[in-house]
Structures are given as C-alpha cells and as structure tokens.
Amino acid sequence: MIFPAYPNYKDSGVEWLGEVPDHWSVQRLRYVANINPPKSEVRDLPDDTAVTFLPMEAVAEEGYLDLTKERALGELVNDYTYIREGDVAYAKITPCFENGKVALIQGALNGVAFGTTELTVLRPDPQKTISEYLFRVVSSEPFRSLGEASMYGAGGQKRVPEDYTREFTIGWPPIVEQRQIARFLDHETSRIDALIEEQQRLIDLLKEKRQAVISHAVTKGLDTGVPMKDSGLEWLGKVPAHWELCRIKHMIRAHGGATPAKERLEFWDGDIPWVCPKDMKKDRLSDATNHVTKEALLETGLSIIDAGSVLIVARGMILAHSLPVAVADAPLTINQDIKALVPYYHLLTFR
C-alpha cells in the first residue's frame, strides 16, 4: 500500500525511526502516557464492587479481549494489576509479549479491571494521545521487536523491563490526526482479518479434501471398477477383492528413539542426523538441527533408522504443533518423542 507524502519531514533523532512528518512531536512514551497507574484510585470503592477479571488467557493476540470473567474488587485489589476503562495493557513476559498480547480495555465492568501481574498498563494523557492510537503504537512491530531485544531474565521467565516502555521514543501526530489514523487502521485491519478468515475456511476445506483423497486411496484403491469384498471391519467396509487383509503390526517393525546426555559433548555435532518433532517441518529430515556421533550410537539407546522409514510424532502435545508424519530421506536417528515404522519390504513386495 502506498501512502501520500507529507509536505515536510524532519530527522526524528531516533536511528530506527529516521524521518517523521515535520509537525509530529517526537517524545518518549512516559511523556504521553502514565505507566502502571496507582491502585489508590479505587481504594475508596466498596470491596464488593464487581469488576472485570483478566487472567492471561483473557488477553488474546492482536487485541482480542475476553471480558466475561468478573470478581469482587476486594478479592483482587492487593494481588493483581489495576486497569481502568480506556487503558492499554500488554503482556510483558515471554512468549506472550512476542505473540502480541495487547489489549485496549473497553467495556470493563464498572469501568474497572484487574489482571495478571504480567501486564504492563499504559494510561494515555488526553492532551498527548488517544487510547486507540496508543494501542496501535504498542501493537506495532518496532515496539515489539525492540522490546524483545530488551528482555531480561532466563528462559520462559524473560520480561520486558518497565524502563524500556518509559524510554520508547516515537513520533506522535496531533490528536486529530491520531483519530484519523486509528479509524483508518480499524477499517483496514478489519478488512484484512475478514480476508484471513475467508482464506482459512478455504484452507480447512482443502485439508478435508486432501484427507478424503488419501483415505479413499488407501482403503478402496484407485480403480472403481474392480470387484469388492467385505473386509469384516465396520469402519472399513468393502475393499478390493484381490487385496489381502493384515494387521499393520505384521507389516512393519517399530523403533523408538532417545536423547543422548547433553553434557556428553562427544555425543554431539557428529555426522548422523538426530530428528526431533520440530525437525518434522523441514523439507529434508536429514537437515535436522542436531547431529550425533558414532559414539552416541555405541553408548546410548540410539539406533540408525533406514531411509524410507515412516516417522510419526508419538506425543499428543507435540503432535498438535508439528507435521506428524514424514518419510526418512536418509539414514538417521530419532528422539524419544518419535516412532519409526520400518516396512518389511519383502512382505510388501511379494505377498
């Protein structure tokens, strides 16, 4: 999309930002919004005041918010993050921050909400910005990528520090222009979301068709004119008369895998691919992220899986996030979350 140019620009003084329209004000976020406003604003309300409760799962990606949960103010005020109608809140902990868990609070019960302590709250200064525009700034790729780079902590406990948010600097248009930009973004993002939903429905239909084609080919064959016989299995029904019925366990042997000790450096960085579920998405399994050595084969439960073997992800939680089935393109090894099905080729060929 091409946007019209402004008459004049100026250097923002921010390396990543470059030039901005001349009439925009370049300011740190702390000068346009109050960060984590104090709970003293609601201390005088009765403890039984009903307010909206926002656990982390209520804050979805790209601004979607579940406001259906409610609790009494007295149950939340001491242990949760205070939020008010019109505030903007974002998840500061990994991976929620990187995934875009940001929300504009609209429709809070009695205008008040309390959420997980992993939220950072921004309250716009009405003289400097509006909630709708502030929400778009915090949702933007620069805010997210620079915030990710500023995270501190280890592993799944990394967080965006408050100082990053306070010092984040960007150009701020006049209020009237902010409203225009916010309305434009609401319209465009809604249109794009509708297109995504339409495409997703098409993808789902194609997946169903793909599965139906595979299922028919492996249960009924390709020739619709051949004689059929009853398989004796209710779910399978009739099969081509010349097909032989056999349990799969008689046609393959199954192999499991293992993970060599990480501290044994002599087991790693070898020439033998070691496939784990995340590698199942690769075009070639032999391009696995990790490789093991011959020493690992000799001293652990690993064994070589022949090329042509069928690999399946065996753990349900991993199955949901990986391509569950693939064919080994070269001799390799597997971890304990994968099973290898090795065909008895002489049975498949000559029976």
List the structure tokens of 232.
Answer: 């004796």
**pLDDT at res. 323:** 56
Between helices 131-139 and 175-220, what is the axis angle to 10°? 50
Q: What is the mean pLDDT of residues 246-251?
A: 86
Domain ranges of the chain: 9-192, 205-245, 248-350
Tens of pLDDT, residues 34-87: 999 999 999 899 999 999 999 999 998 877 888 999 999 999 999 999 999 999
Q: What is the mean pLDDT of residues 146-163?
A: 90
Average pLDDT along the chain = 91
Domains 9-192 and 248-350 share a fold: yes
Distance CA(103)–CA(129), nearest Å, equals 16
CA-based R_g, the chain, Å: 29
pTM of the model: 0.70
CB half-sphere exposure, 31, CA atoms < 13 A: 10
**pLDDT exceeds 70 at position 318:** no
Biggest distance spanned by C-alpha atoms of the chain: 84
Tens of pLDDT, residues 181-237: 999 999 999 999 999 999 999 999 999 999 999 999 999 999 989 999 999 999 999
Tens of pLDDT, residues 121-130: 999 999 999 9
Fold of 248-350: Adenine-n6-DNA-methyltransferase TaqI; Chain A, domain 2 (3.90.220)
**pLDDT at res. 324:** 76
Which phi and psi (to 5°) does residue 252 adopt? -140, 165
**pLDDT at res. 325:** 86
We find that the CATH architecture of domain 9-192 is Alpha-Beta Complex (3.90)
